[in-house]
Amino acid sequence: MTLRRRDVTVALLATPIARGASSLKVAVVGAGVFGAWTAYSLLQSGASVTLIDAYGAGNSRSSSGGETRIIRMAYGPDAIYTRFALRALGLWKEFFAEHGYPYFRPDGVLWMAKQDNPYARASMGVMREAGVRFDVLSPSELRRRYPQIQVEEDVGAIYESESGALMARSAVEAVTEQFVKRGGRFVNSLVRPPAGKGKLDAVRTASGESIPADAFVFACGPWLPKVFPELLGNRIFPTRQEVIFFGPPAGDESFWPPKMPVWIDFSDNLGFYGFPNIDDRGFKVAFDKHGPPADPDNMERILGEDKLREARRYVARRFPALRNAPVIESRICQYENTSNGDFLIDRHPSWDNVWLVGGGSGHGFKHGPAVGEYASERVLKGGTIDPRFSLATKNIRQDRAVY
């Protein structure tokens, strides 16, 4: 095969599949970061795995497409995600080192916030407990270290020196590539939504192939509401998200790493984050606020003038040297949000052998290896599902709590 490069809280007890992993057949639908890592982890555990994706691993329609994603440890009081991120960083680095992929950039992550911000204070407490290395920068120290960033008198920062950027599309392709090299099967086809209940015997592709398995994992991100409209149509909310790359002035290295880290601006309600000029693609500015509803298949991915104006206003205030910088690239991606931002990792209520893995909610990419490991263990061994990942805690009204 050739890969194309480019409000109820309950603890559920999952029942393990009654056979050894070495003889278990699993089909994973969706080759984004959650699906690719779940398939890879299952294969490492001895299962026979087929990975299926309609558009290919790391494709531009997926939430895992695009060039870069942040990996950081600051999560306010949500220690579960700090722990997951730490585990994932170790697995990413181990994977890249083993196979020689240069897809982690340890350029650091700068998390800007007002000094009295409770989320920032909670982040520091959790990270200290977890052993994460970070510096706390006062407004004056922030301005001294990064004179290209203009901040108000009450805005400081947390700097995570060991965090940074993941090269997203390339990383997903790499995991899928190694999955195939180790004996996994990749199928590039659309999967028809299954019907019925009890035990699913096979999934069927648009080309007419039937793919039987003992267990099925649907990790198809913003397509989950399309595959399971009655169950997830009002519980997973895909939204349109704009990304803009501004061209720094010629010869000005202050927006290249290492002089400029990955950054997140939590100092006001605007919701921006971005990346330095990695690989000369431009200075990336992205909107973290949820956009309008999105259709991952048919959405026109063209930047709107209103979003460009909003980004320019922000850049002129926070990065004055880029006030008149040209736009050299833009992208439209999507988040697939749960009601509050928690992941969905749970068994389908109508099928004993079907699992749902998704709800990355704009912060999920970094966690891919840890999610894959966790989902693989649930499928193979059963065990208690963390209530925060359960379907029962996914509501029909959005009230974002995880950032």
Q: What is the pTM for the complete model shown?
A: 0.94
Quote the CA–CA distance of 259 and 321 in Å, as a whole number: 14
Spatial CA neighbour of 134 closest among 74, 69, 71, 70: 74
Identify the H or E element spanning 47.
none
- Architecture of the 12-64+169-236+339-393 domain: 3-Layer(bba) Sandwich (3.50)
Spatial CA neighbour of 159 closest among 182, 133, 131, 184: 133
pLDDT in tens, the chain (403 residues): 444 433 222 233 344 444 455 589 999 999 999 999 999 999 999 999 999 999 999 999 999 999 999 999 999 999 999 999 999 999 999 999 999 999 999 999 999 999 999 999 999 999 999 999 999 999 999 999 999 999 999 999 999 999 999 999 999 999 999 999 999 999 999 999 999 899 999 999 999 999 999 999 999 999 999 999 999 999 999 999 999 999 999 999 999 999 999 999 999 888 999 999 999 999 999 999 999 999 999 999 999 999 999 999 999 999 999 999 999 999 999 999 999 999 999 999 999 999 999 999 999 999 999 999 999 999 999 988 999 999 999 999 999 999 9
Greatest alpha-carbon span in the chain:
63
Q: Strand, helix or coil at 332?
A: strand
Tokens linked to 186 = 């990749």
CA distances from 230 to 174, 224, 233, 298 (A): 34, 11, 6, 21
Those residues whose C-beta lies under 8 Å from the C-beta of residue 359, and which sit 6 or more positions away, are 224, 236, 336, 337, 338, 341, 342, 343, 344, 394
Domain ranges, ordered by start, for the chain:
12-64+169-236+339-393, 105-164+242-335
Residue where the block lists tokens 């039937």: 210
Burial grade of 350 (CB within 10 A; 0-12, 13-18, 19 or more) = middle
* One-letter amino acid for residue 335 of the chain: Y
Quote the CA–CA distance of 291 and 334 in Å, as a whole number: 9
CATH classification of 105-164+242-335, choosing from 3.30.9.10, 3.30.160.100, 3.40.190.10, 3.30.1540.10? Answer: 3.30.9.10
